[in-house]
Copies of this chain bind each other. A is one copy, B any other.
Amino acid sequence: MSVDEWADLTPTARTILGFVAQHPRSGYDIREAARRSVSYFWGVSDGQLYPQLKLLAELGLIESPQEDPGARSKSVWHITPAGRAALTKWIRSPSAPLRMRDENLVKMMFAAELEPAEVLRLVDERRKSFEWFAKNVASPGPAQSWQADQKLGSRTTSELLHEYGKQHTENALAWCDQVEEALRGIANDRA
């Protein structure tokens, strides 16, 4: 297995590799962990997860202890030395540019030609989605045992990451207020 073979792993495969690197996990564990932490800056869909795990195993980057061919129950993966090397190499290579898909914002861009009420609806939709997000994803949640060693100075990585999500969310909500204020400007003009 050459270095070249690591090279064409997808970013999603590498993300999965990262999760296994933190501590041994099953596919299901990874799914749950991804939902809680990375979901807003990197979604991992079911259809990708298991095939990618298989691929990583084939490349010898992760392993599962019991290789019983018949067993279909939970298999816990752990990272191999080769896997750790590949992970490190990935982290050191240049990252793909940020990519976003925010349909609500796109609509906002074109909604100005419609009635103000329409824009208001969009702002409302946006606020709701970010409020949901604040509750379900951007909140720290209970600390995990394996997080203890992930210190970055005084704070853990997951703390900092959640902080980022929280700030982003607050920023988005504040912007909703701004737009509504601008719209209220119209209402006042007519009053």
Instruction: Please report A residues at the B interface, Cβ cutoff 8 Å.
Output: 11, 14-15, 18, 21-22, 37-38, 40-43, 87-88, 90-92, 94-114, 116, 118-119, 121-122, 125, 129, 149-158, 160-161, 163-164, 167-168, 171-172, 174-175, 178-179, 181-186, 189
Given the interface pairs A11-B103, A40-B100, A100-B41, the reply to whether A157 lies near B91 with Cβ below 8 Å is: no
Known: A43-B100, A160-B179. 6 other contacts (CB 8 A): A94-B125, A97-B129, A112-B151, A152-B179, A163-B175, A164-B175
Chain A at the B interface: SS class:
helix
Cα distance, A158 to B94, chains bound together (Å)? 32
- Asked if B129 and A98 sit within 8 Å, CB to CB, the answer is yes
Partner of A185, one of B105, B111, B153, B189: B153
- Asked if B168 and A182 sit within 8 Å, CB to CB, the answer is no
Shortest CB distance A94–B (Å): 7
Partner of A154, one of B11, B99, B185: B185
Cα distance, A181 to B160, chains bound together (Å)? 11
Q: Which residue of B lies closest to A98 (CB)?
A: B102
Q: Which B residues are in CB contact (< 8 Å) with A106?
A: 11, 14-15, 18, 38, 41-42
Q: Which residue of B lies closest to A99 (CB)?
A: B101
